[in-house]
Amino acid sequence: MEVTANRNEKSSPTSSRALRDWVNEVAALTKPDAVVWCDGSEAEKKRFTAQAVDAGILIELNQKKRPGCYLHRSDPNDVARTEQLTFVCTPNKIDAGPTNNWSDPTETYAKLHGMLDGSMRGRTMYVVPYVMGPLGSPLSKVGVELTDSLYVVLNMRIMTRMGQAALDQLGDSADFNRGIHCTLDLNPDRRLICHFPQDNMIISVGSGYGGNALLSKKCFALRIASVLGRDEGWLAEHMLILGLQSPEGETTYIAAAFPSACGKTNLAMLTPPAEFQGWKVTTVGDDIAWMRVGPDGRLWAVNPENGYFGVAPGTSAKSNLNAMKMVEHDTIFTNVAMTPDGDVWWEGMDVPPPDGLLDWQGRRWKKESGEKAAHPNSRFTTPMRNNSAWSPQADDPRGVPISAVIFGGRRASTVPLVLESIDWTHGVFMGATMGSETTAAAAGAVGVLRRDPMAMLPFCGYNMGDYFAHWLKMRGAIKNPPRIFMVNWFRKGADGNFIWPGYGENMRVLKWMLDRIHGRAKGRATPVGIVPDETELDLNGLDLPQSATREALAVNPAEWKAELESAAEFFEKIGPTMPKELKDRRQAILKSLNGEAPTQRVAAGR
């Protein structure tokens, strides 16, 4: 629905006076030529897509090879999250904590309003109402993003339940997340992504990149929602949700946290190896989980999103067959390479690059140039129902019950293939000390080891020490807590090669977790947690020497002592809000490594 910026209230499709007033207020500030309220219809999608193609925002791909698919090329200075320009604007600096960039809210609002004043002249302001979570679910939330970007609108249509359904769910309420996004001139010197948790508000200017511009995603679903979760007694987490179905038809749901580009989407859509006949993995979500305690005392989770915003490079038929199939149609590709016949290509696709390839900036690409044809952080945006492993439970208003939580990162040493915590506090400790080598999903150097607790360091909207305390506090409310595990698919041997084959073979580790949950595996106690006995991993059909299995599961005391020293340094950076329970647990593990305390007894079930 398109109206002039100076419309009257009767022209609005919402019954929420608070929403009408806010849209009028922002329109008066930004001064767009027109305001369009998005309804989420197919007709609207076709109209917006045609406009985007005409404006050069999207490039139509070969419709015979990839029906409904388009390519977007972003500005070369705007290709990843800009964490150094991302701020949490709380009244007190300590509320944001030492791991977030803080900015005074009064000063920041004034600065942003100055940047937004008249910023949409000559442009259209799109009103994008959306629901995070299944429609009608008590676990879901409504948000509204005001943007001048058609690219954002079309991506939000894929990533959220967008349009009139969101306005219907909001009704006349004033309870919605407010998001303002303006691309300005994409000048990095005028780029800010600011969160105001106390106002349930996000303002992003100067960027068109997904993580900075799709405000439903990291901004609302994690930074703002983590604060809502703290205040309302639930968890907003950077986690996939998968269903693991046995040949007998029993389905167990698992949530798992990995930093970006560490195999998260691959695990969410895992195809079991041939030896696991009758086993099936279904995808509830690949990136974000909102988890609340159900009436049965278990954690119940929903995926707040409606699509996938996945990293393209490294995605192949071997690494993620389901992903390769789901992007065959109705997908927006961002910053991948384009073939002469209008198809897409990226590094790690396991298909040789054809002659005449255009790189992610539209330039002729030559292999000998040494440059990547697709940007390392190039993306695909596709509806979750495109995934043949999609779980219908993703639309269940109740969510799904979580039996296990996994923390994982990219580590070349120290962390074994799989490690189970001995109790909830130990599990929180494992998540709090999680480390990973940085990837291209964030601006900056690649391959540097950094602490990324629960994979939430860039996404927690408040003090990280208070976040750990919230996790510890949740144990009192969760009468039937999930098991907590840590995994590391990326451990390397002395030859510098990965020990574990990964990809679909990770099913073997998931099965051991199920055996632990259901009391079918004893495990082996170590000073740092429980690992499988070598005989407990189902390695049938896997050509992996016993020595490699032993190396993948090894716990090296010297490496772990260094790990705990590094963890202590990180705890010091958190400061006075760091929970004493986690400091004490670090000391207890260190004593166990030094032989000063007995290794915890392993129980088959608990």
Q: Show contacts of 507-510: CB within 8 Å, 24+ apart.
A: 507/270, 507/272, 507/273, 507/276, 507/279, 507/281, 508/273, 508/537, 508/538, 508/539, 508/542, 509/417, 509/418, 509/537, 510/244, 510/254, 510/270, 510/281
The reply to whether 160 and 211 lie within a common domain is yes
Structure-model confidence comparison of residues 81 and 149, the more confident one: 149
The residue type of 403 is S
Q: Which of 197, 232, 267 is the last residue of a domain?
A: 232
Report the alpha-carbon angle 470-475-481, nearest 5: 130
The reply to whether 119 and 135 lie within a common domain is yes
Domain assignment present for 65 = no
Q: Is residue 81's pLDDT more than 90?
A: no
Helices 424-432 & 580-593 angle (0-180, nearest 10): 90
The reply to whether 284 and 352 lie within a common domain is no
For residue 473, the tally of other CB atoms under 10 A from its CB is 13
pLDDT tens, 436-476? 866 555 556 665 678 999 999 999 999 999 999 999 999 99
Taking Cα atoms as reference points, which of 491, 492, 471 lies closest to residue 482?
A: 471
Domain assignment present for 602 = no
Q: Residue 10: pLDDT band by 50, 70, 90 thresholds?
A: very low
Q: Is residue 525's pLDDT more than 50?
A: yes
Query: For the chain, what is the domain count?
Result: 3
Q: Given 69, 89, 262, 460, which residue is catalytic?
A: 262
Q: Residue 3: pLDDT band by 50, 70, 90 thresholds?
A: very low
Q: Which residue has the tokens 């499988």?
A: 532
Q: Where are the alpha helices (DSSP H) in 171-263?
A: 210-213, 225-232
Q: Which of 329, 349, 384 is the last residue of a domain?
A: 384
The reply to whether 436 and 529 lie within a common domain is yes
Distance from chain centroid for Cα 57: 25
pLDDT at 97: 97
> What is the value of pTM for the model shown?
0.94
Helix, strand, coil in percent for the chain, rounding step 5: 35, 20, 45
The reply to whether 118 and 220 lie within a common domain is yes
pLDDT at 536: 96
The reply to whether 226 and 281 lie within a common domain is no
Domain assignment present for 275 = yes
Domain assignment present for 366 = yes
Residue 223 has what DSSP assignment?
I
Mean predicted lDDT score pLDDT of the chain: 94
Domain range spanning residue 336?
310-384
pLDDT-above-70 percentage for the chain: 94
> CA 107, CA 111: separation in Å to the nearest integer?
6
Domain assignment present for 570 = yes
- 262 is annotated as an active-site residue: yes
The reply to whether 349 and 275 lie within a common domain is no
Q: Which of 384, 417, 434 is the last residue of a domain?
A: 384
The reply to whether 215 and 171 lie within a common domain is yes
pLDDT tens, 208-267? 999 999 999 999 999 999 999 999 999 999 999 999 999 999 999 999 999 876 788 899
Identify the CATH number of the domain in which residue 326 sits. Answer: 2.170.8.10
Identify the CATH number of the domain in which residue 92 sits. Answer: 3.40.449.10
The reply to whether 294 and 319 lie within a common domain is no
Identify the CATH number of the domain in which residue 507 sits. Answer: 3.90.228.20
pLDDT tens, 346-361? 999 999 999 999 999 9
The reply to whether 434 and 351 lie within a common domain is no
Q: Which helix (H) or strand (E) holds 311?
A: strand 307-311
How far lies 157's CA from each of 9, 145, 306, 312, 373, in Å?
25, 12, 9, 20, 28
Residue 297 has what DSSP assignment?
S
The reply to whether 343 and 317 lie within a common domain is yes
Per-residue pLDDT averaged across 396-410, rounded?
97
* Tokens matching residue 139: 């676990």
Q: Is the dihedral of CA 130, 132, 133, 136 positive or negative?
A: negative
* Tokens matching residue 227: 């604060």
Domain assignment present for 74 = no
Q: Is residue 4's pLDDT more than 80?
A: no
The region, left, alpha or beta by phi > 0 then psi within -120 to 50, assigned to residue 144 is beta
The reply to whether 107 and 216 lie within a common domain is yes
pLDDT tens, 557-591? 999 999 999 999 999 999 999 999 999 999 999 99
Q: Residue 9: pLDDT band by 50, 70, 90 thresholds?
A: very low
